[in-house]
């Protein structure tokens, strides 16, 4: 029963993509199939995210066991898990910090919209809203709450900002007034937007110098990127060794291959083009004519094979559910 259910679900999932891709756009629109694309896409992303979780659990189980039992080369497993969790912790901290800055900045920007809304609601006599003076008091309260959450260092930076000074001045004016003042609110609104932008750039600049950012950059730009690049760069040296030892012309095919490789290299290197500029045209012909023909044949062949494989998977004949049948 379970097997049948899984086969049926696989078939249904495949059916959607066949319909979605093959039927005309107007039909897809009329039947509402195009509307399903976004939720299905999100579903696949969610399933993909689960794979990340499974991967982490698997790594922890395998390498955790190696470390606990001090198995052979356990320190490599320790380095792997330290790297994994170090990166997760600092990437999460970085994400949280950026999110906090964005949310505070958005809240300040919201005060601009609120100031404008008080004025428009009053002008349009919008029903069922509080009187403008009470709403202005809420605006003042919200601004003071935001301001009190700023760190002392940030407050020092803000003191030199003209828009911040203007906001403070206008808020104090509004606090002193006993009645609603649309002119002051109108003047206040654009300054909130300026303060929001300034807050974002000042906080981001201050965060750039923090320990969290330093650790994140060290792990990412200082270790991950150079190590990844170094791994790939080693290939250059191995290829050089292999070229010297193994690339010997022993047959006509080997000669043709080497001649093509030499001509392509000569066609894109300054030094050889200085000797004979015609290498460029020879290179272009080699890539455009024989290469394209051969690659197109390979690609079409691979495409047909992929289609056959897709059909086998769609009809659940490729392998048994959860792997090969016993």
Binding residue (CB under 8 A) for another protein from 141, 159, 186, 296: 296
Rounded Cα distance, 98 and 107, in Å: 14
Q: Return the number of other C-beta atoms located less than 10 Å from residue 65's C-beta.
A: 12
Q: Which stretch binds another protein (CB under 8 A): 2-10, 63-71, 173-181, 289-297?
A: 289-297
In the region spanning residues 57 to 116, those forming contacts with another protein, defined by CB under 8 A, are: 98-99, 101-103, 105-106, 109
Binding residue (CB under 8 A) for another protein from 129, 284, 305, 317: 284
The structure tokens 């012309």 sit at: 249
Half-sphere exposure of residue 204: CA atoms within 13 angstroms, side-chain side: 12
Rounded Cα distance, 178 and 181, in Å: 9
CB of 303 to another protein, least distance (A): 10
Of the candidates 257, 231, 230, 229, the one whose C-alpha atom is nearest the C-alpha of residue 243 is 257
107: left (phi over 0), alpha (psi -120 to 50) or beta: alpha
Q: Which stretch binds another protein (CB under 8 A): 8-16, 178-186, 257-265, 307-315?
A: 257-265
CB of 248 to another protein, least distance (A): 5
The structure tokens 């808020």 sit at: 171
* 232 belongs to the binding site for another protein (CB under 8 A): yes
Tell me which DSSP letter residue 287 carries: I
Binding pattern to another protein, positions 107-126, x when CB under 8 A?
Answer: --x-----------------
Binding residue (CB under 8 A) for another protein from 262, 307, 308, 313: 262
Q: Which long-range contacts (CB under 8 A, 24 or more apart) does 71-75 make?
A: none
**Which residue ranges make up the site for another protein (CB under 8 A)?**
25, 34, 37-38, 40-41, 44-45, 48-49, 98-99, 101-103, 105-106, 109, 220-221, 224-229, 231-233, 236-237, 239-241, 243-249, 258, 262, 265, 267-273, 280, 284, 287-288, 291-292, 295-296, 299
């Amino acid at each position: 029963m379970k097997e049948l259910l899984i086969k049926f679900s696989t078939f249904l999932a495949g059916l959607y993509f066949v319909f979605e891709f093959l039927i005309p756009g107007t039909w897809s629109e009329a039947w509402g199939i195009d509307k399903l694309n976004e939720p299905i896409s999100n579903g696949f992303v969610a399933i993909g995210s689960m794979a990340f979780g499974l991967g982490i659990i698997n790594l922890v189980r395998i390498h955790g066991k190696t470390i606990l039992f001090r198995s052979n080369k356990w320190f490599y497993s320790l380095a792997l898990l330290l790297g994994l969790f170090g990166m997760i912790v600092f990437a999460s901290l970085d994400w949280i910090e950026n999110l906090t800055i964005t949310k505070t900045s958005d809240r300040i920007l919201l005060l601009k919209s609120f100031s404008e809304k008080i004025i428009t609601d009053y002008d349009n006599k919008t029903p069922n809203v509080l009187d403008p003076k009470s709403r202005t008091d809420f605006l003042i309260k919200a601004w003071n709450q935001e301001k009190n959450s700023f760190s002392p260092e940030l407050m020092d930076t803000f003191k030199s900002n003209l828009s911040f000074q203007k906001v403070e001045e206008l808020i104090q004016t509004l606090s002193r007034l006993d009645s609603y003042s649309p002119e002051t609110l109108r003047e206040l609104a654009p300054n909130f937007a300026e303060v929001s932008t300034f807050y974002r750039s000042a906080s981001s600049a201050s965060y750039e110098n923090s320990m969290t950012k330093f650790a994140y950059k060290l792990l990412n730009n200082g270790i991950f990127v150079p190590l990844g690049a170094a791994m790939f760069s080693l290939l250059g040296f191995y290829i050089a060794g292999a070229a010297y030892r193994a690339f010997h012309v022993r047959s006509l095919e080997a000669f043709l291959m080497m001649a093509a490789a030499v001509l392509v290299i000569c066609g894109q290197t300054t030094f050889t083009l200085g000797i004979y500029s015609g290498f460029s045209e020879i290179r272009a012909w080699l890539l455009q004519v024989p290469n394209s023909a051969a690659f197109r044949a390979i690609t079409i062949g691979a495409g047909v094979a992929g289609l056959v494989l897709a059909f086998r998977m769609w009809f659940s004949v490729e392998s048994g559910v959860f792997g090969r049948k016993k």
